[in-house]
Amino acid sequence: MKPILNIAAYLFVSLDDLPALRTKMLEECNARELKGTILLTGEGINLFLAGKTVALRGFLDWLRSDSRFSLLEAKESWSDDQPFKKMLIKLKAEIIRMNHPSIRPESGRANFITPKKLQEWLDRGTDDLGRPVVMLDTRNAFEVEYGTFENALHFNIQKFTEFPEAITAHKEQLADKTVVSFCTGGIRCEKSGLYMREIGMEHNYQLEGGILKYFEEVGSAHYQGSCFVFDQREALEPDLDSISFEASNRKNIKVS
């Protein structure tokens, strides 16, 4: 096994006293020689960290000892080298910016589908009720270029704040379909799924754990290319090994 453990995790939970929390977390990360980025906001936490296995899992144990973070789940991958240059903890207004205050995942999640169940639907081409399944990529355009699900729909957006307007414009087009939204680790879909429900799109699901969890549990089935990640590894193959953009199988799949 490669020596460096990489994790991606998030949790929507109400947080206060962020400066003090930042100080404590930074002390714990530095003591364990971890590197990466943590975003702290009033609506929750988002983190990408890497380090030696015992040290990183020790940090997660420490974090989960706080009842606010007890439900935090992490996606894991491995690398030969440390993919981050420094340890940063940033205070933000949202852990993923959407500019729609009414969308609060902590108050109730959108419907979700597990990777294994999604593979079953994609193998068949329909959901359990016989409705056609459309995969909806909620990521930014440059991320989609690295890879995405076969025949996935995306809106060529440059930032996530553009998603609400884009999906609203295509609401009628998708009315008779079951829509499964997905992103890198699931965080954007926590909000996109709720927004779709808010505008009356009843048959929508989010892929639990995002592309990274799908790679971990399913592999490459129905997926083309690699998945962009926010560290120096640049992109991960379906076997969770890193690959450069030049070597990846890029697919440009746009709304018709």
Rounded (5°) CA angle 123-191-168: 80
The dihedral sign for the CA sequence 209, 214, 218, 222: positive
Of the candidates 101, 96, 108, which has an alpha carbon nearest to the alpha carbon of residue 194?
108
Q: Which residues pair with 90 in a beta bridge?
A: 39
Strand pairing category for 204-207 and 178-182: parallel
Report residue 173: phi and psi, to 5°. -60, -30
> Which among 29, 183, 189, 227 is annotated as catalytic?
183
29 is catalytic: no
Strand pairing category for 44-52 and 73-79: unpaired
Of the candidates 178, 175, 202, which has an alpha carbon nearest to the alpha carbon of residue 126?
178
- Token pair in block for residue 54: 């015992």
- Letter for the amino acid at 168? T
131-155 b/e (C-beta count within 10 Å ≥ 16 → b): eebbbbbbbbeebbbbbbbeebbbb
Residue with tokens 């990846």: 248
What residues are labeled active site? 183
